């Protein structure tokens, strides 16, 4: 079988580009995890991508499982998205005035997510999470928030406490520059620990504005909620008048069209969306119950705004992407590809001593280097062997597979990945694991 992906040359041009970038951009990158620092190497500079494949400036090709960290569920440079976006772009990139397309996207979101009655668009998930929290504080008249260790909700100050993603990768549990007083209002509890959660709620009962959670955390690597965990969060928050916020920036339109809330049948009060929602363009959204959303300016007293919010290009890319996701049996295909990968990997892992596990939901997965049977929370994730992971990552890269460059991130299968791609990936896994 001829491999789809080929590593022909060195990584010389990428190395040169990185050196130059570092002179003008802090760390040479515009988002820390891209630096490959956690895996002991330097980043690839990308020239282009198509479908499931990504190509670097040295002419190497890879099967991509980063997929821009989730948004490219249809694969890179999907022709249908591209065509619509070009058409819209010709009519003007941005107006700073309303367009009907924004209503169309809002309506689609409300149709797919029954918990969302009204929704506001932003330019990033970070902004959406930050604004949802402001809204929850205004609605309840309370100041404290509760988040789970290892969950990432963007980089707003109050959410950079025991955050996952890049913050986990670099072992900075809370960033410098975040005021102690701000951090004090953020309570953190281990994910999947309902007792600790109940204790925290009874201690802070009258002070908690909201509980924010990634229903399926993907920013400490993929972690699955224990049966009943999310249901209890819903019950307890409801009982105590606390706003429950599901951050579905990754899981929305990914684990199912209607996200984790569709899978688990739970209605949060507010939901945060992003990533797939913009079809590869910058976007975020927060929405939920009418009585909460109506507090937003200009109807209400909670200020929130954005020069490029509801940008026509991003909105169009989102609408086209979602309509394709609605029409086709894409989620069945993604599930199948994930199943094939999982059973193939189990076969490979069965022949090795313990030390590596796969955690997965549909097309979202992480390979953890752990001696434990399961990673249930941030502490478990941090106990993983990141050196073994780095060795594995570099082995995969050498074999033409572009996995997420950190133990604490998720990998994404797209609709353009083929069974042949999965087979090739499994072969590379087998070889790389033999050395890791
Ligand atoms: C990516 C992400 C965010 C932040 O979104 P940005 O668009 O990067 O600001 C928030 N929450 C979760 C769960 C994410 O994965």
Among 129, 151, 156, the mutation site with the greatest number of ligand 1 atoms within 8 A of its Cβ is: 129
12-77+329-433 and 79-327, same CATH topology: no
Please, which contacts does 169-175 make with residues 24 or more away whose CB atoms are closer than 8 Å? 169/32, 169/33, 169/37, 169/38, 169/406, 169/407, 169/408, 169/409, 170/32, 170/37, 170/38
| CA dist., res. 420 & res. 425, Å (int) | 9
| CA dist., res. 36 & res. 25, Å (int) | 15
Position 231 confidence tier, pLDDT thresholds 50, 70, 90 = very high
The mean pLDDT value for 106-123 works out to 98
* 152 annotated active-site: yes
Q: Are 185 and 240 in contact (CB under 8 A)?
A: no
Residue with CA at minimum distance from ligand 1 atom 15: 250
Residue 179 has pLDDT above 90, yes or no: no
Nearest to 120 by CA among 276, 344, 271, 341: 271
Residue 169 has pLDDT above 60, yes or no: no
pTM attached to this predicted model: 0.96
For domain 12-77+329-433, the question of CATH label 3.90.1150.10 is answered with: yes
| CA dist., res. 379 & res. 17, Å (int) | 36
Residue 364 has pLDDT above 90, yes or no: yes
The mean of the pLDDT values for the chain is 95
The mean pLDDT value for 324-351 works out to 96
Backbone angles phi, psi at 37, to 5 degrees: -60, -35
Position 296 confidence tier, pLDDT thresholds 50, 70, 90 = very high
Position 240 confidence tier, pLDDT thresholds 50, 70, 90 = very high
* 275 annotated active-site: yes
Provide the residue ranges of all domains of the chain, joining segments of one domain with +. Answer: 12-77+329-433, 79-327
Residue with CA at minimum distance from ligand 1 atom 10: 153
Pocket of ligand 1 contains residue 249 by CB under 6 Å: yes
Among 219, 279, 409, the mutation site with the greatest number of ligand 1 atoms within 8 A of its Cβ is: 219
Residue 328 has pLDDT above 90, yes or no: no
Residue 406 has pLDDT above 50, yes or no: yes
Phi-psi label, residue 59: left if phi above 0, alpha if psi -120 to 50, beta otherwise: left
Alpha helix positions (H), 351-385? 378-382
Residue 172 has pLDDT above 50, yes or no: no
| CA dist., res. 405 & res. 27, Å (int) | 16
Nearest to 282 by CA among 261, 306, 309: 309
Q: Spelled out in words, what is the top-level CATH class assigned to the domain 79-327?
A: alpha beta
Tokens representing 83 are: 């065509």
């Amino acid at each position: 079988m001829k491999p789809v992906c080929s590593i022909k040359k060195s990584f010389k041009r990428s190395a040169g580009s990185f050196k130059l970038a570092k002179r003008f951009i802090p760390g040479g990158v515009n988002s820390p995890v891209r630096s490959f620092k956690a895996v002991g190497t330097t980043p690839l500079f990308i020239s282009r991508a198509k479908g499931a494949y990504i190509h670097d400036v040295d002419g190497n090709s890879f099967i991509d499982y980063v997929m821009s960290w989730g948004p490219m569920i249809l694969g890179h440079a999907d022709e249908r998205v591209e065509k619509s976006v070009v058409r819209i772009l010709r009519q003007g990139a941005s107006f700073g005035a309303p367009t009907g397309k924004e209503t169309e996207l809002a309506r689609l979101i409300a149709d797919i997510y029954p918990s969302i009655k009204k929704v506001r668009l932003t330019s990033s998930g970070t902004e959406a999470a930050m604004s949802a929290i402001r809204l929850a504080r205004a609605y309840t008249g309370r100041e404290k928030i509760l988040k789970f260790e290892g969950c990432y909700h963007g980089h707003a100050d109050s959410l950079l406490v025991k955050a996952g993603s890049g913050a986990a990768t670099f072992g900075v549990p809370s960033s410098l520059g975040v005021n102690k007083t701000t951090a004090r209002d953020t309570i953190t509890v281990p994910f999947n620990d309902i007792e600790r959660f109940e204790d925290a709620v009874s201690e802070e009962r009258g002070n908690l504005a909201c509980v924010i959670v990634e229903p399926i955390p993907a920013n400490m690597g993929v972690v699955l909620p224990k049966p009943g965990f999310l249901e209890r969060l819903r019950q307890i928050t409801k009982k105590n008048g606390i706003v429950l916020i599901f951050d579905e920036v990754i899981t929305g339109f990914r684990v199912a069209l209607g996200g984790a809330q569709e899978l688990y049948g739970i209605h949060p009060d507010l939901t945060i969306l992003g990533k797939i929602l913009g079809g590869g363009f910058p976007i975020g959204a927060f929405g939920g119950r009418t009585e909460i959303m109506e507090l937003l300016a200009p109807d209400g007293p909670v200020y929130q705004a954005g020069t490029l919010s509801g940008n026509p290009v991003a909105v169009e890319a989102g609408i086209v992407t979602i309509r394709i996701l609605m029409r086709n049996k894409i989620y069945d295909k993604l599930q199948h590809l994930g199943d094939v990968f999982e059973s193939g990997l189990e076969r490979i892992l069965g022949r090795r001593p313990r030390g590596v596990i796969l955690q997965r939901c549909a097309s979202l997965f992480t390979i953890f280097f752990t001696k434990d049977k399961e990673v249930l929370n941030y502490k478990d994730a941090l106990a993983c062997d990141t050196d073994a992971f780095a060795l594995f990552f570099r082995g995969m890269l050498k074999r033409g597979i572009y996995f997420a460059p950190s133990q604490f991130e998720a990998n994404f299968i797209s609709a353009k990945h083929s069974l042949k791609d999965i087979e090739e990936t499994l072969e590379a896994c087998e070889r790389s694991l033999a050395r890791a």
